[in-house]
């Protein structure tokens, strides 16, 4: 039974989500402000976090940043839930490491479907990883432990960034369109856009590339998409 942490300062939303998620077979834990949610992440070790953006004490963006900075929690999947529907806000959320973004008002069934998709995607990735290690130049990837290092130093990636890196590095030299990356990494989540792919690629590069303007690992093939460098 997967445990979901719900974080929102509106109690009725927390209770609504908790009731419906538990009805679908999940267990839930709750927090009502950003600071409290960080303690719950450490103590409860949830499988996924649904995180409101606008909250007292500590907003959702700062919570997400703190989770991604901590190696023990960096891989926690995060769905950001917010009344802010502006595309700029969505891009900011994705850039700091959120895996998905749902705006209020929202459909309970759609949100539950997104929870299932992210958890299934994570499990599928774990099942396919095997005991492999990939090395290219200064980059080292352990597909089993999800440890990524550059020049011997560990880097922190979100679950989605890890999946993109795993997918592209397993197929070096092969060019994939944004739509193909969405199909392989996001599976059946049809709400993911080409812009979201670009945002995650940008964040991934910021962690593993020495020079983002001249990347040596994740390369852009103009007019087509992205590829991992030929080995």
Beta-bridge partners for 134: 141
The answer to whether the beta carbons of residues 132 and 189 sit under 8 Å apart is no
Residues 164 and 116 in one domain: no
What pLDDT shows up at residue 84? 67
Residues 171 and 67 in one domain: no
What pLDDT shows up at residue 132? 76
Task: Give the CATH number for residue 220.
Answer: 1.10.10.10
Query: Cα separation of 21 and 46, whole Å?
Result: 14
CB burial string 154-163: b at 16+ within 10 A, e below: ebbbbbbbbb
Residues 51 and 135 in one domain: no
Residues 100 and 199 in one domain: no
Q: What is the pLDDT along the chain (231 residues), one digit of tens a residue?
A: 799 999 999 999 999 999 999 999 999 999 999 999 999 999 999 999 999 988 888 998 899 989 988 878 888 899 988 876 666 566 766 777 788 888 888 889 989 998 998 888 777 655 555 557 889 999 999 888 888 999 999 998 888 899 999 999 988 888 999 988 988 887 655 567 888 899 999 999 999 999 988 999 999 998 889 999 986
Q: List all residues 6 or more positions away from 5 whose beta carbon is below 8 Å from its beta carbon.
A: 28, 29, 30, 31, 37, 40, 41, 44, 46, 48, 49, 50
Task: Give the CATH number for residue 67.
Answer: 3.40.50.2300
Which parts of 55-158 fold into alpha helices (H)? 60-69, 87-95, 108-129
Residues 17 and 111 in one domain: yes
Counting the structural domains of the chain, the total is 2
Q: Of 91, 123, 155, which residue constitutes the final position of a domain?
A: 123
What pLDDT shows up at residue 125? 59
Query: Cα separation of 129 and 165, whole Å?
Result: 12
Annotate 172-198 with DSSP letters as a single string: TT--B-HHHHIIIIITT-TT--HHHHH
């Amino acid at each position: 039974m997967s445990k979901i942490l719900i974080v929102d300062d509106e109690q009725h939303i927390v209770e609504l989500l908790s009731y419906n998620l538990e009805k679908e077979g999940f267990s839930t834990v709750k927090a009502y402000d950003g600071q409290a949610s960080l303690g719950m992440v450490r103590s409860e070790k949830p499988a996924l976090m649904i995180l409101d953006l606008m909250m007292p004490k500590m907003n959702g963006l700062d919570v997400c940043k703190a989770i991604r900075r901590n190696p023990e929690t960096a891989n926690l999947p995060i769905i950001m839930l917010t009344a802010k529907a502006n595309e700029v806000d969505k891009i900011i959320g994705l850039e700091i490491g959120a895996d998905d973004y749902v705006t209020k008002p929202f459909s309970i069934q759609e949100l539950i479907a997104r929870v299932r998709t992210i958890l299934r995607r994570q499990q599928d990735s774990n099942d396919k990883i095997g005991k492999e290690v990939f090395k290219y130049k200064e980059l080292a990837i352990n597909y089993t432990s999800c440890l990524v290092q550059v020049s011997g130093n560990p880097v922190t990636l979100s679950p989605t960034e890890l999946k993109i890196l795993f997918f592209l590095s397993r197929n070096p030299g092969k060019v994939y369109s944004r739509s193909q990356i969405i199909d392989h990494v996001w599976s059946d989540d049809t709400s993911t856009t080409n812009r979201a792919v670009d945002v995650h690629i940008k964040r991934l590069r910021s962690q593993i590339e020495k020079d983002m303007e001249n990347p040596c690992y994740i390369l852009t093939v103009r007019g087509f998409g992205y590829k991992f460098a030929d080995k």
